[in-house]
Each structure stands twice: as C-alpha cells, then as structure tokens.
Chain A
Amino acid sequence: MIGDQAILRASQWCYQGVWAGVTKWLCVPAAPPELVGAEDQQVRAFRPALGYLRYRKLYFWIGLFAVDITLVVAWLALLFARPIVGILLAPLFWFVIIVPDILVYIALHLRYDTTWYVLSDRTLRIRRGIWIINEVTITYENIQNVSIKQGPVQRLYGISDVVVQTAGGGGAVGQHGEQNLSGHTGLLEGIDNPEELRELIMAKWRTAKSAGLGDEYQRPMANAFMPHGLSTPAELELLQQIRDLAVRLAS
C-alpha cells in the first residue's frame, strides 16, 4: 500500500517535470484559453471529463497488450531458435517493448491536460494539441447543428462526444475525430453532460433571428408602429394635414 502511494507520488512528480518541460520548451500554454474582446460573461473553462482519460487509457492498455505480447512471443521464439542472437537483441527488443508505452502513456496525459473547452454565453472555443495547437472559435449563433455521439464503451465511462457544425461543406468527420481538423466543425470529446451543452446551444437558437450565415437581422421595428402600413384614408388624410402644416411652418 505504502509502495503504491510512493509510486503514485513519484509518477506525479515525474509528470510535473514533464509538464513543466512541455510548457517551457514546447511553448504549450498552461492556462486555459481566454475569451476576450467581446461581450462575454460567464466564461466557463473545463477539460474533458475524467472518464475520457480512463476511456483513452482502456484503449491504450488493449493496444499495449496486443503489441507487447506479440513482441515478447517473437523474442522468445528467437531466443529458443537462435539463443545467441536472441540474447544480443534482448536490449533492443525490451527497449521497443517498454519505451514507446511510457511515451504514449505520457502523451495521453498531456493530450488530456492540453484539451480545453471554453464556453461563454455567446461562443465556444476549443483548444487541442501539443505539437500543433489548434484553437477554434465558433459563436453559438453560427452553429447549424449539434450532434451527440456515444459508443458502448463511452457509455460505460459516462462520456459522449459533442460535435457542432457550422455552415459549409467539408471533409468527413472521423469516427473518433482524431484528425478532425476540417473546418466548420467543433469537436468536444469526453463530455459528461452533453444534454446541458446541447440545451445551451439550442436556447440560443430559439432566441436567434438569423440563420447563422452572417445574414442581416430582420428588423421588425420598421413596421412595429404601422403593422399594415398607412393604408386607411383617415391615416393618409392625417399625414397630408401634417405635411401641409410643416410646409406652412417652413415657408
């Protein structure tokens, strides 16, 4: 038990070192993205749910076992067939078996820690990536559709993917959205309350008058005072009287 704690603390300490290096040398910002410059209130920044990290780790362990068992079997076969070659190649094999796993495991955590979703009352902003940092800014008003996706394993972890799309065509959305950098799409992975997010956007749609294509707002004020225009003779007469008075005043 104490050993576990020590390992946990040591790994946390190591990870903090890695994180410091990443933020310093790879210039990855440690703070969540900010929404400034517009009338944003109630800005909320959050990472994917913790279930998302566990979900990714599940796939990591499955992949790890599949690859490493193959490699170990291959090495054992070599060892029995050609003992000398097997022993000579042992360091290489074990390097290939162990080191990439550690790197991938760290990358998994880094990816989780560098994924940020920022929601304001008008906009969502998504930041993702370590080597290539991509920040997407989409106003709710421009969003054309919202879809919620959940696979069986994701359901096990209580997470869903929320995909928002703006107008315009474009590339297909990948199954897991890994390389989904196509425009017109905002991908929010590992959301544990997708309905809340959907409701937030749909509430904006209900009040929005535009189609989210940059179109002019309908301005009902032009007709608010005269819903059917000045069509009745009485109104016209009144207007003419006003005009005549104004003319007399001006002359």
Chain B
Amino acid sequence: MESSFDPATIQRPDRKLLTYYIFLSILAGPAFPLVLLSLYIRYSTLRYKFDADGVSMSHGLFFRREVNLTFRRLQDIHLTHNLLQRWMGLATISLQTASGNAGAEMAIEGVLQAEALRDFLYARMRGARDDRPGGIASTFARASASVVTDSVGTDSVVTASVVGQPTEVSNAMHSNEQTTALALQTLVEIRDALQILVNRQETRA
C-alpha cells in the first residue's frame, strides 16, 4: 500500500481541485467573481511539503499562510468528501492538533490518493504503532545481550578460561537493588575482559 504511494511527491494540488473550486464559486451566486479569484489564488499558490517528521502547507499571494505540523502531534484525522468531491475523486483531509480552535489546523485538498495519504498519516500518528518504551527497552536489552555474547564468543578461549561466562541478564523485571548489583557485576566483567585484552596485547608487543 505505502510502497506505491510516496507523499513526498505531493507538492501541488491536482488540477481537478481548480475545477472543483470553479464549481464552488458558481455556487456562491452573486459573489462569483470574488470567490473565484480568491480560490484561484489559493489553488495556484498552494504548496505541500511532506518530510520524515511532518508536513507543511503554504498558500496565499498577498496574505501568505504557512502551516507546519509534525505527524506525532496529530490528534485526529478527518477525511471528508462531499458529493461533488466524490464525483471528481477529490477529498479533504483535515488534520487536528491539540490547539485551541475547533477547526482543523490544516486542510489538505486536491490530493487524488486521499485514502492512501490518510493511511500514511494514520500510521505516523501517536499510538498507531507499538513504539512504547517497553518495546524499545526490551529490544535494546536483547541487542546489548547479543553484543556481549558475540564479543565473548570470539575470544572464548581466553575469556572463558579466565573470566567465565558473563552474568546472564534476563529481561525479567528486577528490583532496583538487584539491577544495581547486576550493573556493578557487568562493569567488573567488562574491566576483567579489558584487562585480559591489554595483557595479551602487551605480551605480543
């Protein structure tokens, strides 16, 4: 889904948005020329920029607006399409952050793959992924444990005879005292291993 869709390529709204704006301004009745002009300026100056962390949108000729927001701070995503937009394959994606106004902070219009963009944003919103600290901490612990065993493994002839196997640090929860003791023990093991390496290098030299 996401592989075929790259939001970084979205920089300008689609031409269909202009057609939609023309319809909108016709609906405005007597204010048609004014509405059309302002919507045309909006269309022609509308720029989007998606990067790794957030999105920015700018528009305006005389009065310029630029809105920046980060994906992580998104509160809710609204995907709205009225009948006209559905017929034309358009949609409005309204992004909300935790700011004080009821309206959307950013309304992304004129994107043809609106559903894909919405899913892209949703995947980056807080809470959509399992990036809670438990996950990170356990991954980190596993990674560091494997590093320890690898480095010992290469020098297993030396270390195993002198230092012995490193203390097994399981991922289970330890109390604070236990953790301190284990940390201290780990440090002692690191020092001993270094001592062996130093001795070996000095005997070679």
Interface residues of A (CB under 8 A from B): 26-27, 35-39, 122-123, 131-142, 166-171, 182-184, 186, 204, 207-210, 212-214, 217-221, 224-228, 234-235, 238-239, 241-242, 245-246, 248-249
Contacts and interface: CB of A to CB of B under 8 A. Distances in A.
Given A37-B123, A140-B127, A249-B201, 13 more contacts: A35-B122, A123-B127, A135-B80, A168-B98, A168-B100, A169-B102, A184-B76, A204-B127, A214-B126, A221-B137, A225-B183, A238-B191, A248-B202
B172 interface: no
Contact of A26 (B72, B86, B122, B202): B86
Contacts of A220: 133, 137
Contact of B127 (A35, A134, A208, A218): A208
B94 interface: yes
A214 B184 contact: no
Nearest to A29: B86
A181 to B, nearest CB: 8
Contacts, number: 180
A221 B140 contact: yes
Nearest to B77: A137
B102 A184 contact: yes
Interface string B106-145: 0000000000001110110111111111001100110000
B75 A168 contact: yes
17 contacts: A37-B123, A39-B129, A132-B83, A133-B80, A133-B86, A134-B79, A135-B79, A136-B76, A141-B127, A142-B127, A168-B101, A170-B103, A171-B102, A208-B127, A220-B137, A225-B179, A239-B187
Interface in B61-111: 70, 72-83, 86-87, 94, 96-104
Contacts of A234: 184
B9 interface: no
Interface of B: 1-2, 70, 72-83, 86-87, 94, 96-104, 118-120, 122-123, 125-133, 136-137, 140-141, 176, 179-180, 182-184, 186-188, 190-191, 194-195, 197-198, 201-202
A168 B126 CA distance: 16
A241 B127 contact: no
- By secondary structure, the A interface counts as loop
B133 A142 contact: no
Contact of A142 (B94, B119, B125, B194): B125
B187 A227 contact: no
A235 B185 CA distance: 10
A138 B75 contact: yes
